[in-house]
Each structure stands twice: as C-alpha cells, then as structure tokens.
Amino acid sequence: MKINNFLYSRKIPVILRNLTFSSLMALALLTLYSVCPAPVAADDKVNKEFEYTVYLAGFIAGKAVMKYESSGEGIKIRTRATSTGIISLFYKIDDVSESILYADGYPRSNMLKIRQGRRKRDKKTVFERLADGRSHKVIFRDLIENINREYDLDRPAYDILSAFYALSRRDLHVGTSEYLDIFDNKKLYNTEVQILRKERVSVPAGEFDTIVIKPLLKSEGIFVRKGDMYIWLTDDDRKLPVIVKSKIKIGHFTAKLKKGG
C-alpha cells in the first residue's frame, strides 16, 4: 500500500521534473561504464551486452543496457537507459550515449541523445589528436541548438564512457584513490575515484566478490545527482559493476546487474 501511495502521488510528476528521475537514469548509465573487460585491441572482435534493473523505493523503475562491439573505427561502447511501467506514464526516459575508442582506450568521439519527458538533447563531441603529439582538440556540437565550439587541451582526456573503461584497466587498492582527466559538459575535470573496501554481494545475475568505489564526479551534465554515489565492481580483471547506489530526494536509487555477468 505504501508503494501504491508513492506511485500515484500527485507530487510525483513535479518531483521527476526537478531532476530526480533524470538523475536516477543518468546514474543507471554510469553503472555500465566500466563493463568492458581488460584491454582489447582495436582489431579484436568483440560483441557483448549487459543489462541492469533500476529500482526506486523498492519497485522496478527502469532498465539500463550496455553493449560494446568492434567497428571499423575502433571499439564502440553504447549505453541506453529507459524508464518502464508506471514510471513511464509520469516521465518517459530514453537516454542513449555512444563512444568510439582509439586502440589505447582514449575516445575518438561521443554521441549523447537525451529524451526525458519533453526535454531533448542531442550532442556530439569529437576528440582530435593533432600532429604535434602534444596538443589535443575537442570539437563540441549541440545538434538541437546548432552550437559548435572548439577547445584546446594541454593533455589527453577521456569522456565518461572511456574514463570508466580506463578505470577497469587499473589495479585498484583499498584505501587509495585513482584520478582520471574527464572532458564533459564543455569542461575538463581531474576526477577522483576513491577505493573504499571489499565486499561479497548477491544480485539477480549471481554472487560476486566486489570492490566498492566512490567516484567524485564534478560534471554538471547528465550526472547531476543528490548525495554520494557508490559502485560495487567485481574484484577481478573485468571490474564489472554489479550494483550502484545513490541517495536522492525521494529515497534511495539502486541498479543491479540482471544478466551478462
């Protein structure tokens, strides 16, 4: 009965419009960002898919799917987060992000397509490597607002997808932090990821020994959130995220690996 009252509350549409469920689904995307296993060369043939169930206030609110596959340009990582069931009646979500990586794991390009209620965003970011080997150019395009901007960086940078791919290739030690240069929302951030502890967990996909991390994302893009975020990665070479949790205004958000582990 408590869940029904929550579902049919007149306040729900207002709450969702105020960046709660949109933040929630953005977090669902983040659960997918490190699912790539240990390094793969650009000419390796890969084709894998992972699915997560998104929970809010104890009921299923959506799902998130990540695929990565070989392409002529390099490894392609694609994520899609969608609302389901009753939630879709209040606030329909269909968010897609796709990155193509160079052989060393840095991004070649990123495409972002956001559909959240009436809100739409279509953006493309291209990461150019210039001939001098030192300069790095980022070309940003807002396809809806018809905005084009260029940024010169003094060091190579990841986008969100390739950053967590890069993290999966590192040795993680409890009590330490890892740092990643991430270009997102037209800014370059040196992002800290804290390595907190080890823990065994159970999710629909099975039981896993995990290592718990806390990314301190500074971006104000689709990763706007309320409260800290915690991710449980498998404690092996894959570093596959099996759980992600975050506190939001109307309770706790959780995404759990359903299949693909």
Confidence check: pLDDT of 124 > 80: yes
Q: Higher confidence at residue 250 or residue 140?
A: 140
On whether the CB atoms of residues 120 and 114 are closer than 8 A, the answer is yes
On whether the CB atoms of residues 54 and 25 are closer than 8 A, the answer is yes
pLDDT above 70 covers a percentage of the chain that reads 74
- Give residue-wise pLDDT tens across range 76-101: 888 888 888 777 777 788 888 888 88
Q: Point out the least confidently predicted range of 31-45, 167-181, 245-259.
A: 31-45
The 3-state DSSP composition of the chain as helix, strand, coil percent (nearest 5) reads: 15, 50, 35
- Give residue-wise pLDDT tens across range 157-206: 888 878 877 888 889 999 999 999 988 877 888 889 999 999 999 999 99
| DSSP conformation class of 35 | -
Q: Higher confidence at residue 26 or residue 114?
A: 114
Tell me the CA distances in angstroms from 60 to 14, 55, 100, 198, one per residue in order: 20, 5, 31, 27
Q: Point out the least confidently predicted range of 4-18, 19-33, 47-61, 189-203.
A: 19-33
Q: Which long-range contacts (CB under 8 A, 24 or more apart) does 241-246 make?
A: 241/31, 241/32, 241/33, 241/34, 241/35, 242/201, 242/203, 242/205, 242/208, 242/210, 243/31, 243/201, 243/203, 243/210, 244/27, 244/28, 244/30, 244/31, 246/27
Q: Higher confidence at residue 150 or residue 223?
A: 150
Give backbone dihedrals phi and psi of 186, rounded to 5 degrees, phi first.
Answer: 70, 20
At 133 the pLDDT is: 57
CA gap 90, 16 in Å, rounded? 8
- Give residue-wise pLDDT tens across range 201-238: 999 999 999 999 998 866 533 333 456 788 899 998 88
On whether the CB atoms of residues 193 and 178 are closer than 8 A, the answer is yes
Mean pLDDT of the chain: 76
Closest CA to 56 of 117, 119, 3, 8: 3
At 218 the pLDDT is: 62
Tell me the CA distances in angstroms from 115 to 57, 77, 97, 174, 222, one per residue in order: 23, 19, 11, 37, 11
| DSSP conformation class of 146 | T
What is the average per-residue pLDDT within 125-132? 81
Q: How many of the other CB atoms lie within 10 Å of CB of 240?
A: 24
Give backbone dihedrals phi and psi of 27, rounded to 5 degrees, phi first.
Answer: -65, -35
At 77 the pLDDT is: 84
Confidence check: pLDDT of 246 > 90: no
User: Which position has the token pair 């949790």?
Assistant: 245
At 249 the pLDDT is: 57
At 213 the pLDDT is: 93
- The whole model's pTM is what? 0.76
User: What are the residue boundaries of the structural domains of the chain, listed by start?
Assistant: 2-259
At 248 the pLDDT is: 61
At 8 the pLDDT is: 42
- What's the CA angle centered on 55, arms 177 and 202, to 5 degrees? 65
Confidence check: pLDDT of 247 > 80: no
At 65 the pLDDT is: 85
At 86 the pLDDT is: 74
